[in-house]
Structure 1
Amino acid sequence: MEATIMPDLKEKNRIILKNSKMHELWDLGAPTILEQALQTIVAYVDTAMVGQIGAIASAAVGLTSTVNWLLNGILFAVSMGMLSFIAQYTGQGDLEAAHHTSAQAIWIIFVFGVIETVIALAISPVLPMWMGASQEIWRDASEYFFIVNCPLILRGSLIIFGNVLRANKDSKTPLYINIGVNFLNIILNQLLISSHTTISVFGMLLSIPGAGLGVRGAAIATAISQGIGGVTIFWVAMQNPLVTLKGMKVKPEGKLLKNCFNVSLPLIGERIVVGCGDVVFSALVAGLGTLSVAAHSIALTIEQAFYVPGYGIQTAVSTLAGNAVGKKDELELESVVRSGLIVAVSIMTAMAIGLFCGAEVIIRFFTKDEQVIVLGVSLLRIVAISEPMYAALIIYEGIFHGIGDTKMPFIFAILTMWGIRIGLTWIYIGMFGRDLKMVWFFMIMDNISRCILLWSLYRRRKRSLLLFDEY
């Protein structure tokens, strides 16, 4: 593919600044940011409500969260392969090819959903034991993981159709559906987790029923709300003329699926590598005791909220980067990169300052255990320092997802996750000490190293125009 002829550096920078993508990024990214913020709020509510039961309950829910991230991550990776091609076809003006690619989502959901569901339900009885957790949390952790993953194929629909709609520049529909899912989850949390409670509202006593199911109730609430969300987004997607199966032959299209799978395969590998790394990392932390697991789980949940702006902008960056590649416009691609970095790094830096200063106030919302609070505050302040670099990492990942260049990021993920985060943690715990704060330093080193590697790769590929020659 022929590259755009580049002007001199000054003229290039002037054109990039003039054609800034910030407005378009914000239009596409803002609904996704709000959507993910709501999802994080629900995770906060789950963690806080379960945390009121005690450290054992927090550890039981938090222990299996990394495995759920792995299962979700594989579905997300496949959807990003589709997003890349849909965005490029849209950039080329080939809406028919974009529609055919979008319609193949139904087969991906079915195949990956069934496979993941069978695996998840099969390993649920032994997963806590495999992860080296204390026996006191085995039953609750197994039950939580089993229930949450019963409707996994519907969760796949929510993830994959969400990204297919975003690839077609409709980020508001997934937002509206997730608002409903999240509010439903909160209501069900109250009805199922807690026991019967009475609160005072404007001087009147209000009685709120509750089943008192604890950890099991949190799992049922999540399963029901996500299942309803998966069905709803499928129905809505069928009304979208660029996604619907109406009037089309509902059969797998081998060439389209193969192209998407070729892009998705390294992303799936990356999610598996990172996800398995997170599982092993959590298993290493589990060996440090219930206190460490509780603090680690709560701090990770809190940290998620501070990634929301980055990941919201990432999806928009991926879509616009794919459009730029479809148009063969290198200047537009560079404008997308710069705009994405400015927006994500600025917002996440401001949020990191708030996290560092307000760590204790935030964590007290999730637990009453003073030991967990002291350790958790230290962890949050450690991770706050790395947030600006993590913002850049998220954006560079989004660029490579959008242009379909996924092989080297996969290799980098292997090197940093297993060589730095897992390797150094294993050596440290085995030979030197059992300080969870040091373990979190290794986690940060993993993220910073991967950011530097992706930045270097992008600059090298862009200069040699390999980004365009590969398509």
Structure 2
Amino acid sequence: MLMTILALAWPTMLEQFMQTAVQYIDTAMVGSLGTRAMAAVGSTGTVNWLIGSTISAVGVGFLAYIAKAFGAGEETAAKRAVSQAVLITLILGIFFTAVTVSLSGMVPVWMQVDVNIREMASQYFLILYLPMLPRTASIIFGTVLRSAGDTKSPMKIGVLVNLINVVLNFLLIYPAREISLFSLRLQVWGAGLGVIGAAAASAIAFTAGGICITYVLWKHPVVSPRGQGFSPDMQILRPCLKVAFPNMLQRFGTSLGYVAFAAMINSLGETSTAAHTIANTVESAFYIPGYGMQTAAATLAGNAYGARDGRRMKDLASVFIPLEMILMICSGACLFFTAPGLMRLFSASDEVIRLGTSVLRMVAVSEPFYGFSIIIEGFMMGVGRTKTPFVYNITGMWLVRIVGTFICTQLLGLGLIFAWACMIAHNLLLFVLFFICYVRGVWNPLSTSVQTG
């Protein structure tokens, strides 16, 4: 079982590592342009979470359905679900393109971005969201492939997307210049577009990724939608959306909370915005073990549920939970000790480095607790129990993080450290709630003691 878990998890971890590495490179490249450029790029980043997580929630609905179908040996039903995933991808991609493009001028205003950088932030946002259809395809089709046990194809495409992004960043952000390569002096072409160049590089890379993953899905020997109808099939969509809807509300609600959280931090000034943006980027690398394992947990739990194998479900928990806790303890310790050096990679400002280091060391201590929550939530997504995580996450986000941050920053005049303290309190509350959920057996629909959840 351990080998099966690792075989599913490592490609997802590598894919997320590559994505995070590119985030690091993007942040470092934009950071070299100055604090204002960093603030312009980071100020609307939480809107990306809002949109991306909403789309991902739809993918969770298909993941639960397809993983369960494969576990029960119903491959035809799984393929029919993939064709419906294609239909939903088209609808969501077109819808979010229209919404993001039409609102690109207003988003920086709603996010309380400094008036001096609003135009730059608006242009960055507009370019980044023009390829919303291929971005939607990458998210949903990637989830479909993982639900069938294919985590390597999304990983390979993710590597390609990241390489394209890095190369284009190098060419589009900076002007023409001379670089040293060993003993050689080379003249390198550059467009000198700055923040706009970073947005264009990401947009082109997203488009390439969407095209590639659509091709891979279409040619896939197990889950290709070829030969299936693409008209709405409510027998498939109804159970998928039943799982997806609570998860969508959860992700939308928590992501909207991230937007409110970031808006309050933006109101603290450029230094806090830059420190928050960099710290978020740094922190994301250290959640890779957690979310890589969550994907494997969701897929294997869905398979076990489809096969009605209660013993296997319990065995999965007995392996996943200690493995996840060990990984997140190591990850948190690494973040704690490397925080100052990592902050220096992205900023030359002593104040930004000091502030970012403080909040990163605070959150590092809470990582093992958050890792437990991630795994239990993964099990519940895989078996289609998304209502309970919705209640837990919305409660923690809005009653602890947002209310707490509002009181600290807007009423008491406190700074970024107190805002992140509220975020950590949110994570610890999730640990308590999911631990109770685990002890009661609510996470497991095959438990003889729990029939609903």
TM-score range, shorter chain: over 0.9
- Is 2:156 the partner of 1:176? yes
- Is 2:174 the partner of 1:194? yes
User: Quick one: which amino acid aligns to residue 268 of structure 2?
Assistant: L
For the 8 Å contact 2:294–2:375, the answer to whether it is kept is yes
Residues 14-413 of structure 1: matches in 2 within 5 Å? Answer: 21-413=1-393
TM-score using structure 2 length: 0.97
Distance (Å, rounded) in 2 between the aligned partners of 1:162 and 1:467? 35
For the 8 Å contact 1:88–1:325, the answer to whether it is kept is yes
Distance (Å, rounded) in 2 between the aligned partners of 1:318 and 1:295? 34
SS in structure 1 of the partner of residue 219 of structure 2: coil
Task: State the Cα deviation string for residues 33-73 of structure 1 (Å, max 9, x = none).
Answer: 00000000111111110000111111111111110011110
For the 8 Å contact 1:341–1:392, the answer to whether it is kept is yes
User: Quick one: which amino acid aligns to residue 174 of structure 2?
Assistant: S
Shift of 1:467: 8.7
User: Quick one: which amino acid aligns to residue 395 of structure 1?
Assistant: I
User: Quick one: which amino acid aligns to residue 312 of structure 1?
Assistant: G
Distance (Å, rounded) in 1 between the aligned partners of 2:403 and 2:179? 50
Shift of 1:119: 1.4
Shift of 1:434: 2.2
Shift of 1:469: 4.0
Shift of 1:372: 0.8
Distance (Å, rounded) in 1 between the aligned partners of 2:449 and 2:214? 34
Distance (Å, rounded) in 1 between the aligned partners of 2:448 and 2:175? 60
Distance (Å, rounded) in 1 between the aligned partners of 2:141 and 2:391? 28
Distance (Å, rounded) in 2 between the aligned partners of 1:331 and 1:56? 55
SS in structure 2 of the partner of residue 135 of structure 1: coil
User: Where do 5+ consecutive residues of structure 2 fail to align?
Assistant: none
**How many positions carry a matched residue from both structures?**
451
Distance (Å, rounded) in 1 between the aligned partners of 2:33 and 2:85? 40
Task: Identify the match of residue 433 of structure 1 among 381, 399, 413.
Answer: 413
Shift of 1:266: 0.3
Distance (Å, rounded) in 1 between the aligned partners of 2:39 and 2:379? 35
Task: State the Cα deviation string for residues 358-409 of structure 1 (Å, max 9, x = none).
Answer: 1111111111111111111111111111111111121111111001001111
Moved more, 172-181 or 325-334: 325-334
SS in structure 1 of the partner of residue 385 of structure 2: coil
User: Quick one: which amino acid aligns to residue 397 of structure 1?
Assistant: E
TM-score using structure 1 length: 0.93
Distance (Å, rounded) in 1 between the aligned partners of 2:176 and 2:318? 52
Report which structure shows greater RCO (CA 8 Å, sep ≥6): 1
For the 8 Å contact 1:37–1:305, the answer to whether it is kept is yes
Distance (Å, rounded) in 2 between the aligned partners of 1:145 and 1:431? 30
Distance (Å, rounded) in 2 between the aligned partners of 1:384 and 1:448? 12
User: Quick one: which amino acid aligns to residue 383 of structure 2?
Assistant: I
SS in structure 1 of the partner of residue 223 of structure 2: coil
For the 8 Å contact 2:172–2:201, the answer to whether it is kept is yes
Residues 2-13 of structure 1: matches in 2 within 5 Å? Answer: none
Give 1:10's aligned residue: none
User: Quick one: which amino acid aligns to residue 437 of structure 1?
Assistant: I
Shift of 1:459: 2.5
For the 8 Å contact 2:87–2:230, the answer to whether it is kept is no
User: Quick one: which amino acid aligns to residue 293 of structure 1?
Assistant: T
Shift of 1:432: 2.0
Q: Alignment identity in percent?
A: 40
Residues 441-456 of structure 1: matches in 2 within 5 Å? Answer: 441-456=421-436
SS in structure 2 of the partner of residue 385 of structure 1: helix
Moved more, 284-293 or 328-337: 328-337
Moved more, 248-257 or 131-140: 248-257
Distance (Å, rounded) in 1 between the aligned partners of 2:406 and 2:218? 48
For the 8 Å contact 2:265–2:416, the answer to whether it is kept is yes
